[in-house]
C-alpha cells in the first residue's frame, strides 16, 4: 500500500495544488482492509476554476479510478485477489469524518482514445 501511495502522490501532485477562491472542493477518501467502514482522508481537490464548477470533483473521480485500478493491478501481480470492499472514492465538499463508505469502487486506467 505504501508503493501505491508513493506512486499516487507523485502522479497526482500537480492536481493537488490548491488556489484560493469560491470553487467547491472535492475530497478523495480511502478505507482500510482492517476496517471497511473507516474513512481515511487521502487528498483534497480545491483548485479555483470558475469556468467549470465540476472541475475538482471530475479530477478527484479520475484519481480515484486510477488508484483503484492500480491497487487491482498490484494485487494481481502479487498473485492475490483484490478485496472489492476496499478502495478509493470521492465526495463533494471538505473532509467529513463521518459518512457512508461506498459498496463498490470504479477502476480504470487512462487510455489514448
What pLDDT does 112 receive? 52
Could you give the angle at the alpha carbon of 10 between the alpha carbons of 56 and 81, nearest 5°? 90
Residue 6 neighbours by CB under 8 Å, 6+ apart:
none
33 grid coordinates? 482492509
| Residues 36-85: tens digit of each pLDDT | 999 999 999 999 988 999 999 999 999 999 999 999 999 999 999 999 99
Does 19 score more than 50 pLDDT? no
Alpha-carbon distance of 8 to 104, in angstroms, equals: 20
| Residues 6-18: tens digit of each pLDDT | 555 555 555 544 4
What pLDDT does 1 receive? 57
Amino acid at each position: 500500500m505504501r508503493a501505491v501511495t508513493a506512486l499516487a502522490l507523485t502522479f497526482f501532485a500537480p492536481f493537488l495544488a490548491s488556489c484560493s477562491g469560491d470553487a467547491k472542493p472535492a475530497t478523495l477518501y480511502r478505507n482500510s482492509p482492517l476496517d471497511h467502514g473507516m474513512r481515511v482522508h487521502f487528498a483534497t481537490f480545491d483548485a479555483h476554476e470558475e469556468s467549470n464548477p465540476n472541475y475538482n470533483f471530475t479530477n478527484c473521480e479520475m484519481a480515484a479510478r486510477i488508484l483503484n485500478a492500480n491497487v487491482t493491478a498490484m494485487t494481481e501481480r502479487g498473485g492475490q485477489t483484490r478485496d472489492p470492499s476496499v478502495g478509493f472514492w470521492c465526495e463533494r465538499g471538505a473532509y467529513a469524518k463521518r459518512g457512508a463508505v461506498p459498496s463498490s469502487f470504479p477502476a480504470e486506467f487512462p487510455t489514448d482514445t
